[in-house]
Every structure is written in structure tokens, then in C-alpha cells.
Amino acid sequence: MAPSRVAIYPGSFDPLTLGHVDIIERGSALFDSIIVAVLRNVEKSPLFTVDERLEMIRDTFRERGNVEADSFSGLLVDYASSRKATTIVRGIRAISDFEYEFQMALMNRRLAPAIETVFMMPAEEYSYVSSRLVKEVASLGGNVSGLLPEDVEKRLLERVRRKPMEG
């Protein structure tokens, strides 16, 4: 039997958007399993804790048996190897994403030549959606419906009402 193809989809997911959901669904159809890996980054000041972000991902993909949510710290390629993943999936929305993604992909290849990075495009209706913009719009009272899973939207609105963005 061929070994199973495990992909890692890493990111901050603060919070999960429908753009992320779109990429995860496409990835789950391409690979035997896909691990959505939330970076534990002590430097950033996130809106949601890592555990909250994991819970939102798990709730959203409850019905998809081959999607797992996990967190990691340290080098992505070390985490990928520890999970026996052969592929890193990243979403590319526009050319502006490309330069940074290209650098990361080549650095990761240098560190771990056996792990391949695959870029995927989300549906075009999500090509401008980012967690950062969604948080900003929500915190300023704008409408973010249709950009996030419903439950995530509820949690975001509740959070920004209680904790307006810093700055």
C-alpha cells in the first residue's frame, strides 16, 4: 500500500477565515490528510489564544475526517517531519503574497529538501480576505458577514466588542 500523503497547512489563523476554509477543503481533497497547524508565536499579540483558534478550526471541520488541527512551535520543517508530512500547503491570494511565500518555500526546501511546498489559490471571492483586515473591519463596526465561518464571526464580534483592537 502506498504511504499516506500528509500535508501541513501552517499559519496564525487569528482567526480562521473562509479563505482558509476554502484552501483546507481543497487540500483535504488532494491529500490523504491535512493538518492545520497553528503557530505558537510568543512575539505576536493575537486576538484569540492558540486554544481558541484550534477550537474554531476543529468545530468548523467536525465533519471532515481527514482534517486535523494542531499547534506547533519552532521550525515548521521540524514539525512537518515529526508528523511525517511530505507537503507544506500555502495559499496565494495575489502576486503580492508571492515574494514572501517564495522565500519561505525555498528556505524550507534548503532546510528539508524532501518536503515540498505546494501553493494553492482560494476561490476568487476570497482573494482579498485576510485575518488582519477582517479583524480591523469588525473592530471598527464594519460588516464582515460572508468572510468567516458563522461561529467564528460570532466569536469575533463578541471579542472585538469586549476588546477593541490596540493602538
- How many whole angstroms separate alpha carbon 54 and alpha carbon 57? 5
Shortest-Cβ-distance residue relative to ligand PNS: 11
Q: Which is nearer to ligand PNS, 63 or 166 (CB)?
A: 166
CB of 87 to ligand PNS, least distance (A): 14
Closest CA to 34 of 25, 47, 42, 43: 25
**Cell triple for 61:** 471541520
SS3 51: helix
- What is the CB-side half-sphere exposure of residue 158 using CA atoms within 13 A? 7
Residue closer to ligand PNS, measured from CB, 132 or 161:
132
Decide: is 91 part of the binding site for ligand PNS (CB under 6 A). no
CB 120 within 8 A of CB 131: no
Residue 55 or 101: the one with the smaller Cβ distance to ligand PNS is 101
Reduced to 3 states, what is the DSSP secondary structure of residue 128?
Answer: coil
The DSSP output letter for 118 is: E
List 28, 33, 131, 139, catalytic entry? 131
Asked if residue 76 binds ligand PNS (CB under 6 A), the reply is yes
What's the length of the chain? 167
Which span sits near ligand PNS by CB under 6 A: 9-17, 114-122, 138-146, 151-159? Answer: 9-17
Q: Among 5, 40, 44, 132, which one carries the catalytic annotation?
A: 44
- Tell me the number of residues near ligand PNS by CB under 6 A: 9
Cβ–Cβ under 8 Å, residues 26 and 92: no
DSSP 74: S
Q: Taking CB under 6 A as the rule, does residue 107 contact ligand PNS?
A: yes
Residue 122 in contact with ligand PNS, rule: CB under 6 A: no
Residue 11 binds to ligand PNS (criterion: CB under 6 A): yes
Chain residues binding ligand PNS by CB under 6 A are 10-12, 39, 75-76, 104, 107-108
Active site residues: 20, 44, 93, 131
